[in-house]
């Protein structure tokens, strides 16, 4: 027993020499979806590394977070009359920005004190653990449905099918979108530091999460590498990634391709689909089967007079599976309907009868994301104060605004502290409720107002938006010429910031920042060596 303990201790010490294990534990905690675990992560890292020398004078980290804290305090002076519940909400907003400041300091501190290589190895271990957990997610789904390909599985009221990727949350247990984004970052990070196995691992995880927006962004930067990158090897790897992605979408997950096809047609109001329909998708085929089984639930299939009817041929081959999953489908359909009824009640309570107050023409004309930006622009144009300082933290468009509403979309909240600002209720909350009243297929990134830019302009005004670009984006952009993979990560991050309130999530921005700090540290070392 003593020998075993001694062996484990030696292995731990050896591993700690090559990797920053404290930083690895910190990453595992801070990137977890639970707010309590994130708080544990901050306490953990500051317990082992008690350093509060932020170094703003030396421009060591972005000044952005500190300025946002100051702006929030100034805003509260104008919004103090909103009551106690708003004071609590504003305090939470302050805590989130403060936590972001504490975290970014520790990211930089780890590189400065432990070295680039040890932090890189800690990141490598994190992504390996995440890939293992994602694989477990997939295997659990396969075991549950008894089907090798959940991307075409239509049982349980389409619980998986095109939404299979949504269930691949990885080690963070967060949304699959987070899993997709951090692995998209990891793909290019490991590619450019020449750890190709890890790059491929990140690509596979990103691919299996089947994010259409993520795939578009990945393809854009793949094409960028093919055009701009001088490394033939990198171009070869990227061509392999593109090939795998195309084959996966067409052969493994055709339901996502069909979903994307329908979305593009509806968004751009096209008369015809861009891609010709194909029966490999199974979507329309299974809809026909479901309709048939609904009409002929008790009748035998032999009642079809024309055995050559395609409905009969398909239903005959898949009757057993459909009947077997009928009870499960009913359960999941009831759960979905119950959830939708909850949103109907909430909508009726705040906006009146959906049949009277819902302007369907307005919400069907353009994607919800586009409408949300129109609403934000309309709001800030009403008054000079709106334009300069916004509605105030938590009053227009943010994760905490949704939480405080107690609608249970982006997390739970204490019932007695429920707070809904009039500006939020009239704009982005209503917009979100409209899309939650629609079918699950409409619950998409392109329809929800979630966006850092909506948050900054709507809640912090032009001042907040300028602080972001001048003191955050420019912090990285001014060293753009000396960066390697950072040239990809920075514009990629800006695109992803369009999709959610990422600063409040304490997730993907953390991964982005640590990778950028590593790239900047490497470029500084290279410049010093050249100077010698």
pLDDT band at 357 (very low <50, low <70, confident <90, very high): low
Task: Give the per-residue pLDDT at 438.
Answer: 79
Note every long-range contact of 466-471, with CB atoms under 8 Å and residues 24 or more positions apart, other chains counting: 467/64, 467/67, 467/68, 467/71, 468/64, 471/62, 471/63, 471/64, 471/67
- Percent of the chain with pLDDT strictly greater than 90: 61
Task: Average the pLDDT over 226-245 and give the result.
Answer: 94
Q: Are 432 and 351 a contacting pair, CB within 8 Å?
A: no
Smallest CA-to-CA distance from 286 within 397, 396, 183, 160 is with 160
Helix (H, G, I), strand (E, B) or coil at 79: helix
Other residues' Cβ atoms within 10 Å of the Cβ of residue 410: 21
Task: Average the pLDDT over 166-183 and give the result.
Answer: 94
pLDDT band at 434 (very low <50, low <70, confident <90, very high): confident
Number of H helices, E strands in the chain: 27, 0
Smallest CA-to-CA distance from 259 within 445, 431, 433 is with 445
CA distance 92 to 474: 27
pLDDT band at 316 (very low <50, low <70, confident <90, very high): very low
Residue 115, CA atoms < 13 Å, CB-side half-sphere:
9
CA distance 386 to 375: 13
Max CA distance (Å), the chain? 89
Task: Average the pLDDT over 176-202 and give the result.
Answer: 96
Task: Average the pLDDT over 319-333 and give the result.
Answer: 45
Task: Average the pLDDT over 126-144 and give the result.
Answer: 95
Task: Average the pLDDT over 300-319 and give the result.
Answer: 40
Helix (H, G, I), strand (E, B) or coil at 439: coil
pLDDT band at 353 (very low <50, low <70, confident <90, very high): low
Cβ neighbours for 206, distance < 8 A, ≥ 6 positions apart? 179, 180, 183, 184, 187, 214, 218
Task: Give the per-residue pLDDT at 259.
Answer: 60
Task: Give the per-residue pLDDT at 442.
Answer: 77
Least confident piece of the model among 189-203, 402-416, 448-462 = 402-416
Token readout for 270 is: 């096209």
pLDDT band at 289 (very low <50, low <70, confident <90, very high): very low
Residue 208 vs residues 125, 202, 221, 251, 275: alpha-carbon distances, Å: 20, 10, 18, 13, 22
Least confident piece of the model among 37-51, 117-131, 274-288 = 274-288
Q: Which residue has the higher pLDDT, 147 or 284?
A: 147
SS3 assignment for 6-60: HHHHHHHHHHHHHCCHHHHHHHHHHCCCCHHHHHHHHHHHHHHCCCCCCCCCCCC
Residue 128 scores a pLDDT above 80: yes
Task: Average the pLDDT over 127-154 and give the result.
Answer: 91
Mean pLDDT of the chain: 84
Q: Are 325 and 290 a contacting pair, CB within 8 Å?
A: no
CA distance 17 to 13: 6
Task: Average the pLDDT over 173-189 and give the result.
Answer: 95
Q: CA 266, 272, 276, 278: dihedral to nearest 10 degrees?
A: 60
Please spell the DSSP secondary structure of 302-344, one letter per residue.
Answer: GG-S-TT-HHHHHHHHHHHHHHHTHHHHHHHHHHHHHHHHHHH
Task: Average the pLDDT over 367-374 and give the result.
Answer: 93
CA distance 226 to 455: 35
Give 473's DSSP letter.
I
Smallest CA-to-CA distance from 126 within 20, 237, 13 is with 20
Task: Give the per-residue pLDDT at 361.
Answer: 72
Q: Which residue has the higher pLDDT, 456 or 1?
A: 456
Most confident of 137-146, 152-161, 348-357, 359-368: 137-146
Residues in the chain: 532
Residue 277 vs residues 18, 259, 272, 282: alpha-carbon distances, Å: 53, 11, 10, 10
Task: Give the per-residue pLDDT at 330.
Answer: 47
């Amino acid at each position: 027993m003593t020998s075993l303990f001694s062996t484990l201790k030696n292995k731990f010490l050896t591993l700690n020499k090559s990797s920053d294990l404290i930083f690895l534990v910190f990453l595992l905690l801070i990137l977890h979806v639970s707010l309590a675990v994130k708080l544990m992560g901050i306490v953990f890292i500051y317990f082992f590394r008690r350093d509060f020398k932020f170094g703003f004078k030396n421009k060591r980290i972005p000044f952005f977070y500190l300025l946002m804290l100051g702006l929030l305090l100034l805003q509260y002076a104008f919004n103090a009359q909103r009551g106690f519940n708003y004071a609590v909400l504003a305090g939470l907003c302050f805590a989130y920005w403060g936590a972001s400041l504490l975290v970014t300091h520790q990211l930089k501190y780890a590189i400065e004190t432990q070295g680039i290589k040890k932090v890189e190895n800690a990141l490598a271990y994190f992504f390996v653990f995440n890939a293992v957990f994602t694989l477990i997610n997939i295997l659990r789904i396969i075991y549950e449905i008894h089907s090798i390909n959940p991307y075409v599985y239509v049982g349980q009221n389409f619980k998986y099918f095109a939404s299979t990727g949504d269930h691949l949350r990885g080690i963070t247990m967060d949304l699959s979108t987070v899993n997709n984004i951090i692995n998209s970052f990891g793909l290019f990070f490991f590619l450019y530091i020449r750890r190709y196995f890890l790059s491929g691992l990140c690509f596979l995880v990103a691919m299996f999460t089947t994010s259409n927006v993520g795939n578009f962004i990945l393809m854009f930067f793949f094409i960028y590498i093919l055009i701009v990158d001088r490394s033939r090897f990198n171009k070869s790897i990227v061509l392999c990634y593109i090939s795998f992605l195309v084959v996966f979408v067409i052969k493994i997950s055709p339901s996502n391709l069909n979903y994307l096809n329908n979305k593009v047609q509806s968004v751009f109001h096209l008369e015809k689909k861009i891609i010709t329909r194909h029966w490999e998708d199974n979507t329309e085929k299974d809809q026909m089967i479901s309709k048939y089984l609904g009409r002929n639930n008790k009748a035998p299939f032999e009642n079809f007079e024309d055995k050559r009817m395609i409905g009969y041929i398909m239903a005959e081959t898949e009757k057993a599976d459909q009947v077997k999953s009928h009870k499960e489908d009913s359960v999941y359909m009831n759960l979905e309907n119950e959830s939708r009824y909850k949103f109907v009640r909430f909508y009726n309570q705040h906006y009146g009868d959906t049949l009277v107050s819902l302007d369907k023409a307005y919400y069907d004309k353009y994607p919800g994301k586009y409408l949300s930006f129109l609403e934000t622009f309309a709001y800030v144009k009403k008054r000079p104060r709106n334009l300069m300082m916004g509605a105030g933290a938590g009053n227009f468009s943010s994760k905490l605004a949704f939480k405080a509403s107690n609608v249970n979309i982006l997390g739970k909240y204490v019932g007695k502290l429920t707070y809904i600002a009039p500006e939020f209720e009239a704009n982005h909350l209503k917009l979100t409720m409209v899309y939650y009243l629609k079918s699950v297929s409409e619950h998409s990134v392109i329809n929800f107002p979630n966006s850092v830019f909506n948050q900054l302009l709507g809640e912090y005004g032009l001042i907040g938006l300028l602080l972001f670009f001048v003191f955050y984006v420019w912090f990285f952009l001014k060293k753009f010429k000396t960066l390697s993979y950072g040239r990809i990560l920075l514009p990629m991050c800006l695109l992803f910031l369009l999709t959610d309130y990422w600063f409040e999530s304490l997730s993907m921005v953390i991964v982005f920042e640590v990778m950028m700090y590593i790239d900047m540290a490497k470029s500084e070392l290279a410049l010093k060596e050249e100077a010698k």
